[in-house]
Amino acid sequence: MVVEFVGALLSGSLALLSDAGHMATDALGLGMALAARIAAGRPADKLRHTYGLYRVEIFAALANAVLLLGVGGYVLYEAFGRLQAPPEVLPVTMLVVGSLGLVVNLISWRLLRTGAKESLNVEGAYLEVLADLLGSIAVLVAALAIQVAGLLIIDAVVGALVGLFIVPRAIRLGWKALRILAQLAPKDADLETIAAQLGAIEGVTDVHDLHVWTLTSEMEVATVHLMTGADVDAHRVLDEAKAILDLNHGIDHATFQVEPETHVECAEPSW
């Protein structure tokens, strides 16, 4: 990665610079994700961090998205100027440095290929390395085109393509992180269906104050108030409600408040 940055400066290649920038943000993103996972695995501080440090992973993802957007935006800005007036670049330097990057990415790709079938996190790292591998191939193609045919503009074209690849990914990653931080309901959570299924439990007369949100990747939580009739077995209601959220909707961390109809504060909150 460092070699690619130095090679990009020496050769003047935007394609090489964009590939190096992409690799750098990927490496930083993977490092932050690993650090966040380690932090999230620490026991929760019951007095301060009552949910633990699971949100660290989301903040890391948002930071990575900002970095990706910055790299992609800069590459596109540079590419726009170079498409109009392609500067001289050194294709031999591009070939040498791009070949080294290709070898490193091939080794990483081979190491991660098997584990990608067994772990979602490893699969994400595998896809990042695969993208870097394709970027290295694009750099070599550009270097050959310049060396053989003198097509200087191809360097800017490859740089722009890498930038166009980075920016949408950064926006999607940032939007996912912001959705979680804003505590929006998960896209696959059908709150109307959840409320209907909870309301169908024998003895439940009303379901209100239902909230479902994502704490961190692959961890959804919920809170809900269940109003019950007189002489209803609250233990049975709780067991059935927990089974509905866990088995039907994959939410295994839920807080239920069971309220008898006679309770004076059972109304929906004003906010």
Q: List pLDDT tens digits, range 90-144.
A: 889 889 988 988 888 888 888 777 765 654 455 666 767 777 888 888 889 999 9
Instruction: Give the pLDDT mean for 27-32.
Output: 74
**For residue 247, with 0-12 CB atoms within 10 Å meaning exposed, 13-18 middle and 19 or more buried, which class applies?**
exposed
Report the b/e string of 85-108 with b at 16+ CB within 10 A: ebeebbbebbbebbeebbebbeeb
Q: What is the pLDDT of residues 186-221, one digit of tens each?
A: 988 999 999 999 999 999 999 999 999 998 877 899
Q: Say yes or no to pLDDT of 269 above 60.
A: no
Gap between the Cα atoms of 28 and 217, Å rounded: 19
- Confirm if 56 and 39 have CB atoms less than 8 A apart: yes
Task: Report the alpha-carbon distance of residue 38 to residue 196 in Å, rounded.
Answer: 38
* Integer Cα distance of 32 and 26 in angstroms: 10
pLDDT at 132: 81
Which tens digits make up the pLDDT trace of 150-168? 889 999 999 899 889 888 8
CATH match for 191-260 among 3.40.50.10490, 1.10.287.1040, 3.40.109.10, 3.30.70.1350 = 3.30.70.1350
CA 68 → CA 21, 52, 145, 259, distances in Å?
9, 27, 28, 48
- Residue by residue, DSSP assigns 174-185 as HHHHHHHHTTPP
Q: HSE, CB side, 13 Å, CA atoms: give it for residue 248.
A: 15
Domain 2-181 top-level CATH class: mainly alpha
Domain ranges, ordered by start, for the chain: 2-181, 191-260
Residue 144 tokens, joined:
């050959």
Please, are residues 53 and 39 in contact by the beta-carbon 8 Å criterion?
yes
2-181 and 191-260, same CATH topology: no
